[in-house]
């Protein structure tokens, strides 16, 4: 059992209750379920069996700057829909605003749903008014942190170097970093997509392979637009190759999520693309019916 996967017994939890630090509530092994039969047939571009089909899908919600305590009712409905059959099939994570992490973690106790945050400061503590460290989010009950979301890269000018520092901070706090990368519309139109992804991977990823990568074309986020399935396949295959080149065997086991206007109506076809190991869902994660619809498609 790895450093990130040991059960801990936080003082504030009832006796006998274990939570898992790092990844989602199950240990890392749970990201690698036995290959479901419908995925065994998948092949990669070379016609070889797609070994990544064994990664258990992760459906992660990103509530962005939405939600007060009233929104916890939606979280409770998501948990109610995350039944035994769905638990076996996929991991569910909901990344709520920092103000809700503690309350959401309490609501999610024993449900199998894990709670994440959307950003953190790179340092563990200090004179950084208004910022929140990964350690604080872990203490509040988070299991994962989104880092490098394009809205933070745009709104706050976050660089690859800063994203990498935040990813390292998440790991330091035993949380799973979900590192976001993706090209702008202009970059796609000028044929730079793969070069942008390569640069962002090189600059944003931490040393450890205990991460999740989210491919989110900036122009697809919140717009209702999505790349073609062929474009998603190309990007994910490229990211997989880069991860394998950088981390070796461990790179082949890193979940790669697709994000950008995923909805119940398009989830099945997107999630069926090779090397798409789940989804990062913004708008459609705010309503339990939509989020569960996406989960049902996984
Ligand atoms: C996101 O916020 O990461 C995202 C993918 O948003 P949406 O699903 O709304 O496009």
User: Which residue lies with its CA nearest to atom 1 of ligand 1?
Assistant: 282
Spatial CA neighbour of 275 closest among 234, 246, 247, 245: 234
DSSP E strands, the chain: 7-8, 19-20, 58-62, 91-95, 114-117, 144-147, 176-181, 212-215, 256-259, 278-281
CATH number of 130's domain: 3.20.20.70
168: confidence class by pLDDT, cuts 50, 70, 90: very high
Mean pLDDT computed over every residue of the chain = 87
If you measure from the C-alpha of residue 286 to the centroid of ligand 1, how many angstroms do you get, rounded to a whole number? 11
For the chain, the domain total comes to: 1
Residue of higher predicted confidence among 274 and 20? 274
Amino acid 23: pLDDT: 34
Q: Does residue 216 carry a catalytic annotation?
A: yes
User: Does 259 contact ligand 1 (Cβ within 6 A)?
Assistant: yes
**Please, which pLDDT band fits residue 36 given cuts at 50, 70 and 90?**
very low
**Ligand 1 nearest atom to the CA of residue 180, by list position:** 3
Tens of pLDDT, residue by residue over 119-138, are 999 999 999 999 999 999 99
- What is the arithmetic mean of pLDDT over 51-80? 92
Which residue would you say has higher pLDDT here, 50 or 110? 110
Structural domain of residue 229, as residue ranges? 3-297
pLDDT at 45 over 80: no
Among 108, 52, 112, smallest CA distance to 82 is for 112
Sign (positive/negative) of CA torsion 238, 239, 245, 250? negative
Q: Is 74 a catalytic residue?
A: no
What 3-state class would DSSP assign to 105? Answer: helix
List, as own/partner pairs, every contact residues 127-131 make where C-beta atoms lie below 8 angstroms and the sequence separation is at least 24, other chains included: none
Gap between the Cα atoms of 160 and 178, Å rounded: 14
pLDDT at 26 over 60: no
Name the more confident of 2 and 223: 223
In angstroms, rounded to a whole number, what is the distance separating the alpha carbons of residues 55 and 275?
Answer: 9
pLDDT in tens, 225-264: 999 999 999 999 999 999 999 999 999 999 999 999 999 9
Q: What is the pLDDT of residue 166?
A: 98
Instruction: Name the active-site residue from 135, 151, 168, 216.
Output: 216
Encode burial over 106-133: b for 16+ CB neighbours within 10 A, e otherwise: ebbeebbbbbbbbbbbbeeeeeeeeebb
Interval 10-24: pLDDT, tens? 333 333 333 332 333
The pLDDT assigned to 54 comes to: 83
pTM: 0.85
Q: Does the structure show a pLDDT above 50 at 44? A: no
Place of tokens 């491919």: 215
E strands in 35-183: 58-62, 91-95, 114-117, 144-147, 176-181
Tokens of 145: 């942190």
Average pLDDT value for residue range 42-52: 40
Is residue 283 in contact with ligand 1, taking CB distance under 6 Å?
yes
User: Per-residue pLDDT averaged across 175-204, rounded?
Assistant: 98
Mean per-residue pLDDT, 38-43: 35
Query: How far is the centre of ligand 1, averaged over its atoms, from the C-alpha of 1 (Å)?
Result: 33
Q: Cα(158)–Cα(149) distance, rounded to whole angstroms?
A: 9
Q: Three-state DSSP class for 133? A: strand
At residue 51, does pLDDT exceed 70? no
């Amino acid at each position: 059992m790895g450093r990130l996967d040991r059960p801990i017994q936080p003082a504030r939890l009832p006796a006998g209750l274990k939570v898992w630090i790092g990844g989602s509530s199950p240990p890392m092994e749970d990201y690698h379920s036995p290959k479901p039969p419908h995925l065994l047939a998948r092949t990669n571009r070379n016609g070889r069996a797609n070994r990544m089909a064994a990664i258990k899908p992760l459906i992660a919600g990103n509530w962005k700057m939405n939600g007060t305590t009233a929104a916890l009712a939606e979280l409770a409905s998501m948990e109610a829909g995350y039944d035994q059959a769905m638990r076996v099939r996929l991991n569910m994570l909901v990344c709520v605003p920092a103000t809700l992490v503690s309350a959401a973690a309490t609501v999610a106790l024993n449900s199998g749903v894990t709670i994440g945050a959307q950003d953190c400061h790179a340092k563990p503590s200090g004179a950084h008014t208004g910022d929140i460290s990964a350690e604080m989010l872990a203490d509040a009950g988070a299991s994962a942190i989104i880092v490098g979301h394009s809205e933070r890269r745009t709104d706050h000018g976050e660089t690859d170097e800063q994203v990498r520092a935040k990813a390292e901070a998440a790991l330091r706090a035993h949380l799973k970093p979900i590192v976001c990368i993706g090209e702008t519309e202009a970059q796609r139109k000028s044929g730079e997509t793969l070069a942008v992804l390569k640069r962002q991977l090189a600059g944003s990823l931490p040393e450890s392979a205990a991460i999740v990568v989210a491919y989110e074309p900036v122009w697809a986020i919140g717009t209702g637009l999505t790349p073609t399935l062929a474009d998603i396949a190309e990007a994910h295959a490229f990211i997989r190759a880069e991860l394998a080149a950088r981390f070796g065997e461990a790179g082949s086991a890193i979940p790669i999520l697709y994000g950008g206007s995923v909805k119940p109506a398009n989830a099945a076809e997107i999630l069926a693309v090779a090397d798409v190991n789940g989804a990062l869902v913004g708008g459609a994660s705010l309503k339990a019916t939509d989020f569960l619809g996406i989960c049902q498609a996984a």
